[in-house]
């Protein structure tokens, strides 16, 4: 039996003005792919399908401008970037695709035939071979480009066999058929098959669907199943040092692009510096605007030397992008790019495209030197300590701070013999620090970057240790709070209530790896990571 799934209704005012678009631009995300998702913006009459229980359905155009159409296409294309499927606005691509490997998403102002909803689709219709489309109702979504794009990816997902990602409490009581995710800001996360209107970072997910808290749905496995007839894109960069892609410097710069297609993918690059100097890298996930909107990839970059030893790992906690700003000697270096999770989002489907923009500024560096910066909380203060090894005399050292993970600003100049700095920050929940040192011959050096997260004065549950050797987790709690323990893919292992004092929690079956524990109560939520040894 064919099942109709209705999306969540957006409670938004309905605009009374329709925008008339000119010829829809012809766009394709992966032209060589056989399977197709066709985004139909210019109107269509639906006949001879399971929708036509009351005759033909005449759908008007989307009412979007060409720039809005392009942004919807860009956002949806990025959601489907890991797969061997072409998202397109070109009807000829759709008509050329096999009948059982295509779907038409009609983005239309026409909704009265169905009712008040963001969109509607038949589950699994992608492979039916009868041209049954799905629908997204642009006027009911108030022509909001992000919401239309979220609904488009969501409805296309239904045609590929996906049900809703639902939410449940720790006792398996359903809270909503549409999981709205968690967090805020750039890394605030929600599943595409839940409701992604309210979060910046929306991804495919492995979590419980509408049929019960133990009915887990792996979106990636279903999308790439044999039923749909397509899998992942071919890997574009090797994942070993031997297979690393050359990022050659031209005018002291390089630019390379890539796609993280799977959650096991690691893209390796190699570059060579002709002399010592400053190396900077911007690692940027594909996006359509501020806060990396439309991105599906939380980037982590690891820098290695020519001996393949790790120099540093770069992954700003509250950003999807990553940056490197360091000094290096002449020689060969490697970069590893991969998708990671964060305090809100699992690593399961941190997938998508990115660019690396490297810049080199030649300059002299001592053949032997070391600047090591450490940082930690000391009560309500941030304490920094560092060591410096080198032959040049230090003439200036300055502590720099960044609250966005990108831009560092001077915080304090210290005496040249100082090796620590302590201060109380104002209204900062997370800060990154580095040391900027100038020597007697005018050379400039940067230390590694350290991150300090402000606990704040609000009491909260705390792990007694972040490294455990059994399946029991010990938590010290100042009162009654809820907790959930999840693996790195977002699968809930256990949950329950904390009491005041020490709590010994049976975490359920765990193997070696990284896990999350989420505490909630008093309208607040905290997420900590721990390692099962």
3-class DSSP state for residue 99? helix
Mean pLDDT computed over 237-241: 96
- Banded model confidence at residue 17, pLDDT cuts 50, 70, 90: very low
pLDDT at 410 over 90: yes
C-alpha–C-alpha distance, residues 275 and 230, integer Å: 47
276-315 residue pLDDT tens:
888 999 999 999 999 999 999 999 999 999 999 988 888 8
The domains found in the chain, sorted by start residue, are 4-223 (3.40.390), 245-362 (2.60.120.380), 370-453 (2.60.40.10), 462-532 (2.60.40.1930)
Please give the pLDDT value at position 364: 56
Please give the pLDDT value at position 272: 97
pLDDT at 21 over 70: no
483-520 residue pLDDT tens:
888 876 667 788 888 887 778 888 888 888 778 888 87
Report residue 31 CA to chain centroid gap.
25
| Percent of the chain residues topping a pLDDT of 90 | 61
Residue 352 vs residue 371, higher pLDDT = 352
Burial 25-54 (b: 16+ CB within 10 A, else e): eebbbbeebebbbbbbbbebebeeeebeee
Please give the pLDDT value at position 373: 83
Q: Say if residues 347 and 489 touch (Cβ distance below 8 Å).
A: yes
Q: Say if residues 137 and 152 touch (Cβ distance below 8 Å).
A: no
How distant, in Å, are the alpha carbons of 130, 264, 489 from that of 486? 41, 19, 8
| Percent of the chain residues topping a pLDDT of 70 | 91
Both tokens of 65, joined, read 């401008």
State the first-to-last Cα distance of the chain, in angstroms, to the nearest integer. 47
3-class DSSP state for residue 300? strand
Beta strands in 370-459, from DSSP E residues, in sequence order: 370-378, 381-389, 394-402, 409-414, 420-423, 430-439, 444-446, 450-453
Please give the pLDDT value at position 3: 45
73-127 residue pLDDT tens:
999 999 999 999 999 999 999 999 999 999 999 999 999 999 888 999 999 999 9
Name the least confident of 15-24, 283-292, 443-452, 495-504: 15-24
C-alpha–C-alpha distance, residues 298 and 317, integer Å: 9
Q: Say if residues 349 and 261 touch (Cβ distance below 8 Å).
A: no
Give me the helices (H) in 55-135, please.
66-79, 91-96
Residue 393 vs residue 249, higher pLDDT = 249
């Amino acid at each position: 039996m064919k099942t109709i799934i209705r999306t969540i209704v957006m409670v938004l005012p309905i605009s009374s003005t329709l925008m008339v678009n000119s010829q829809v631009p012809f766009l394709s995300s992966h032209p060589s792919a056989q399977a197709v998702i066709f985004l139909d913006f210019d109107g269509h009459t639906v006949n001879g399908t399971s929708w036509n229980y009351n005759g033909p359905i005449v759908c008007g155009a989307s009412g979007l401008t060409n720039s809005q159409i392009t942004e919807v296409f860009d956002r949806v294309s990025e959601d489907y970037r890991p797969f061997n499927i072409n998202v397109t606005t070109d009807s000829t691509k759709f008509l050329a695709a096999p009948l059982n490997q295509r779907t038409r998403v009609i983005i239309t102002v026409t909704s009265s035939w169905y009712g008040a909803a963001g969109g509607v689709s038949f589950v699994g219709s992608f492979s039916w071979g009868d041209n049954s489309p799905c629908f997204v109702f642009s006027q009911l979504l108030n022509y909001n480009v992000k919401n239309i794009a979220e609904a488009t990816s969501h409805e296309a997902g239904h045609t590929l066999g996906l049900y809703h990602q639902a939410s449940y409490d720790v006792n398996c009581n359903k809270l909503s058929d549409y999981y709205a995710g968690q967090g805020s800001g750039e890394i605030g996360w929600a599943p595409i098959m839940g409701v992604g209107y309210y979060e910046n970072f929306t991804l495919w997910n492995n979590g419980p669907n509408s049929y019960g808290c133990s009915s887990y749905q792996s979106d990636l496995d279903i999308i790439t199943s044999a039923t749909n007839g397509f899998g992942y894109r071919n890997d574009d960069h090797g994942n070993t040092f031997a297979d690393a892609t050359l990022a050659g410097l031209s005018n002291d710069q390089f630019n390379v692009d890539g796609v993280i297609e799977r959650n096991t993918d690691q893209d390796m690059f190699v570059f060579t510096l002709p002399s010592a100097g400053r190396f900077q890298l911007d690692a940027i996930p594909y996006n359509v605007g501020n806060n990396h909107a439309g991105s599906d990839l939380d980037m982590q970059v690891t820098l290695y030397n020519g001996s393949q030893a790790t120099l540093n790992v770069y992954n700003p906690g509250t950003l999807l992008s990553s940056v490197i700003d360091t000094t290096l000697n002449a020689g060969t270096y490697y970069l590893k790019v991969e998708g990671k999770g964060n305090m809100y989002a699992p690593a399961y489907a941190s997938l998508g495209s990115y660019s690396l923009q490297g810049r080199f500024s030649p300059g002299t560096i001592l053949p032997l030197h070391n600047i090591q910066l450490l940082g930690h909380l000391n009560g309500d203060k941030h304490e920094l300590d560092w060591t410096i090894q080198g032959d040049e005399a230090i003439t200036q050292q300055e502590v720099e701070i960044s609250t966005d993970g990108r831009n560092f600003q001077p915080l304090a100049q210290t005496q040249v013999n100082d090796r620590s700095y302590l201060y109380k920050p104002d209204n900062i929940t997370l800060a990154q620090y580095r040391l900027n040192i100038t020597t007697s011959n005018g050379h400039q050096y940067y230390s590694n970057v350290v991150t300090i997260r402000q606990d704040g004065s609000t009491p909260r549950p705390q792990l007694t240790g972040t490294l455990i050797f059994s399946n029991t987790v010990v938590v010290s709690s100042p009162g009654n709070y809820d907790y959930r323990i999840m693996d790195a893919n977002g699968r809930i292992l256990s949950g329950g209530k904390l009491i005041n004092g020490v709590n010994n929690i049976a975490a359920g079956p765990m193997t070696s790896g990284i896990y999350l524990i989420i505490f909630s109560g008093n309208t607040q939520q905290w997420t900590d990571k721990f390692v099962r040894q």
